[in-house]
Structures are given as structure tokens and as C-alpha cells.
Amino acid sequence: MKELGPLIHSFWYLLRGAGMTVLMATSAVVPATLLGVLLALLHVFGGWLLRSAILGYLFLIRGIPLLVLLTFVYYLMPLTGIDLPPFWGVVLVISLYYAAFVSEVFRAGILSLPQAQWDAARSLGMTRRLMLQIVVLPQALRLSAPPYVSLCVSLVKATSLVSIVGLWELTMAPFQIFIGAAAIYFCICYTLALYGRHLERRVLLGH
């Protein structure tokens, strides 16, 4: 059992890293979600100018690896003299990146509402705002919950990239540590994935 030495030795270290992963993921997921919902609404209801701006943004984000953007910001910050702690720089990039994917998930949720729902709301004389508030959004959010949870899993995994750009996190040296790190990521992500599956079943039952 000598091989397990480094793993046991670094248990607390890994656990602190896990804390960092959770902190970073939750700090990024909140702005990503809010911005994503906003982008989805603007994409569906905004004019052509807004729509093409959002399409351009989606094209960029979908085509460029997150690692390229993270490294770019890492090198850029000292150049521009923006004095942001590296942690918040990373959180900012991950939020902006995932906002694009969140917006696509919510947009799909909005568009998958049956036409009858819109017609019914309009024929009841609802204003656009009321229709969004009590008819469209609650249902769209519910429909998009399962893919949204998969995105959260992907976001948690993406925080591991931060180790490449030098910010201390769950990933570091000897081989056994990687197994430990994998185990911790698995615990976080699998729990989320199970929750996603539970939501999926509920959404399917509701229809």
C-alpha cells in the first residue's frame, strides 16, 4: 500500500482544492445563468440587430476553445494594467463562455413551447410582460432544466483548466493525486448528473 502514501498524505490538500473547485464553479454559474437567460430572451424577442450581435457572440464562443480564452486573459491582464485578482479573471471568462451555452439551452426551451400556449395567453389579453412572466418563462425554465444541469457538469469540469494557466486548483503533481482528484470531480459531477436525470424524469412525466 506504499503507492497510496501520497494520496493519504495529500488528502487535506485535495479537499481544499475541492473547496476551490466548488467556489469557482458556483461563482461562475450564477452570472453565466443570469446572462444566459437574458441573452436567450433577447435572441428570441429582440430585433434583428440584437439577434445578429448575439449570433456573432455564439459563433465566437462555440468556435474557440475555453483554454485559448483563459490563456489569453492570463497574458492580457498584465498588459492592459487591469488589476483583477486571477481568481475573478478566470471566473469572468468562464461565466461569459458558459452564458453562450446557457442561452442556447434556454432558447431551445422557449422555442419548444407549443404554439397553443402563446395563442391562449394572447387571447386572454395578456400583455407581453405578463405572458413571459407567468406562461413562457416558468415552462421554458422547467423544460430546459435537464440540459442545463449537464452544462453545470461541464462547467465544473472546465474549472480544471485553470491549473494550466497557473491558478492553484484541484490538479497538481504526483500520479496518485490525479486519481484522488478524479475521484473528487466524479463525486461532484456524478451527483449533479444524477440530479439532472431526476429532473429529466420529472419533465417527461409532466408531459
Partner 1 sequence: MPFDPHFIARLIPALLEGAKVTVELAALTMAICLVWGLLVALAHSTRGLLGSIAGGYIQLVRNTPLLIQLYVVYFGFSMAGFGLSGFASGLLALCAQNGGYVAEIYRGGLQSVSIRQFEAGRALGMRRRTLYTTVILPQVIARVIPPLTNQSISIIKDTSQVAAIAVMEIMKITEVWVETSANTYDVFLGAALIYLALTSIAGLVGKLAERSLAFAQ
From 36-44, 45-53, 105-113, 184-192, span contacting partner 1 (CB under 8 A): 184-192
# chain residues binding partner 1, by CB under 8 A? 32
Cell 451555452, residue located:
101
User: Minimal distance in Å, beta carbon 175 to partner 1?
Assistant: 4
User: Minimal distance in Å, beta carbon 196 to partner 1?
Assistant: 11
**List 96, 126, 189, 203, residue binding partner 1 (CB under 8 A):** 189
User: Minimal distance in Å, beta carbon 107 to partner 1?
Assistant: 15
Is 72 among the residues that bind partner 1 (CB under 8 A)? Answer: yes
User: Minimal distance in Å, beta carbon 156 to partner 1?
Assistant: 8
φ/ψ region of 83 (left if φ > 0, alpha if ψ in -120 to 50, else beta) reads beta
Is 144 among the residues that bind partner 1 (CB under 8 A)? Answer: no
Alpha-helical (H) ranges within the chain are 5-9, 11-45, 48-63, 66-80, 86-111, 115-123, 128-131, 137-143, 145-158, 175-206
Is 152 among the residues that bind partner 1 (CB under 8 A)? Answer: no
For residue 197, give every residue at least 6 positions away whose Cβ sits within 8 Å of its Cβ, in sequence order, or none. 146
Cell 400556449, residue located:
117
User: Minimal distance in Å, beta carbon 185 to partner 1?
Assistant: 5
Of how many residues is the chain composed? 207
Cell 422557449, residue located:
110
Q: For residue 37, give the C-alpha cell.
A: 437567460
Residues binding partner 1 (CB under 8 A):
59-60, 62-68, 71-72, 75-76, 79, 153, 157-158, 160-161, 163-164, 171, 175, 178-179, 181-182, 185-186, 189-190, 193
